[in-house]
Chains A and B, each alone.
Chain A
Amino acid sequence: GQSLEQPSEVTAVEGAIVQINCTYQTSGFYGLSWYQQHDGGAPTFLSYNALDGLEETGRFSSFLSRSDSYGYLLLQELQMKDSASYFCAVLSGGFQKLVFGTGTRLLVSP
């Protein structure tokens, strides 16, 4: 089967840096994605790593280590609007079926 583990909640203050970790167990691994979801909203794509290393997109970066079955999402210069749930998801099974983790709720305080 497939499973992903990520912390249930993380808190931080505005301007800080926060890292959300994700460890996974899956067969036929293709890549690790990150999605953001605000309360009452739809998940929206943030980043995707198919290869080892760091991908940077503005204030957000994502890292993958395939040998360790581990990845993380790094959020810098936190803003209040970053308060949301963040989901890691693995692409597996030879077809684009995303399997999601249970999500990390990020609370950013002033």
Chain B
Amino acid sequence: DAGITQSPRHKVTETGTPVTLRCHQTENHRYMYWYRQDPGHGLRLIHYSYGVKDTDKGEVSDGYSVSRSKTEDFLLTLESATSSQTSVYFCAISDTADSGNTIYFGEGSWLTVV
């Protein structure tokens, strides 16, 4: 199994509060991603990183920010959580930029915004 740890694994928070999800990898992979998964939508890319301090937006980035100060850590922050952000969040990592067979996912973080 790829060395990816997501924390927290489960969280319930109130609308309007900030939330940070952490993804930690031990593989020294360059590329890291945050996806959210919702019924009927599959997995949708929120933000991704192609190196320390290098990040960019995915297809559903509104309401989210990310930071990557170290190779091994990629943080996803919901500045002010809303009920529409209730979802399962998956971190993923990769060590190549042009192959579709080297992306590994973490176990997911279940976030409920009440």
Q: Provided the pairs A42-B90, A43-B43, A103-B42 are in contact, do residues A98 and B103 lie with their beta carbons within 8 angstroms?
A: yes
Say which residue of B35, B43, B99 sits within 8 Å of A96 (CB atoms).
Answer: B99
* Size bracket, chain A contacts: 20 to 34
Question: Are A98 and B100 in contact, CB atoms less than 8 angstroms apart?
Answer: yes
Q: Which residues of A contact B48 (CB under 8 A)?
A: 97
B113 contacts partner chain A, Cβ-Cβ < 8 Å: no
Closest to B40 in A: A102
Question: Are B90 and A48 in contact, CB atoms less than 8 angstroms apart?
Answer: no
* Contact residues of B between 33 and 70, Cβ < 8 Å to A: 33, 35, 40-45, 48, 50, 58-59
Number of interface residues of B (CB under 8 A): 28
Question: Are B106 and A33 in contact, CB atoms less than 8 angstroms apart?
Answer: no
Question: Are A30 and B42 in contact, CB atoms less than 8 angstroms apart?
Answer: no
Q: Smallest CB–CB gap between A24 and chain B, Å? A: 12
Q: Which residues of B contact A33 (CB under 8 A)?
A: 100-101, 103
Distance in angstroms between the alpha carbons of A43 and B113 in the assembled complex: 24
Question: Are A101 and B31 in contact, CB atoms less than 8 angstroms apart?
Answer: no
Distance in angstroms between the alpha carbons of A97 and B100 in the assembled complex: 9
Q: Smallest CB–CB gap between B34 and chain A, Å? A: 12
In the complex, 20 of the A-B residue pairs with CB atoms within 8 angstroms, ordered by the A residue number, are: A30-B100, A32-B100, A42-B90, A42-B108, A43-B43, A45-B102, A45-B103, A87-B42, A89-B43, A96-B31, A96-B97, A96-B98, A97-B48, A98-B43, A98-B45, A99-B45, A99-B59, A100-B35, A102-B42, A103-B42
Closest 4 CB pairs of A and B: A48-B101, A91-B100, A33-B100, A100-B42
Residues of A at the B interface (CB closer than 8 Å) are 30-33, 41-45, 47-48, 50, 87, 89, 91, 95-103
**A41-B107, A48-B101, A87-B43 given. 18 additional CB < 8 A pairs?**
A32-B100, A33-B100, A41-B108, A42-B106, A45-B101, A45-B102, A50-B100, A87-B42, A89-B43, A95-B50, A96-B31, A96-B99, A96-B100, A98-B43, A98-B100, A100-B43, A100-B44, A102-B40
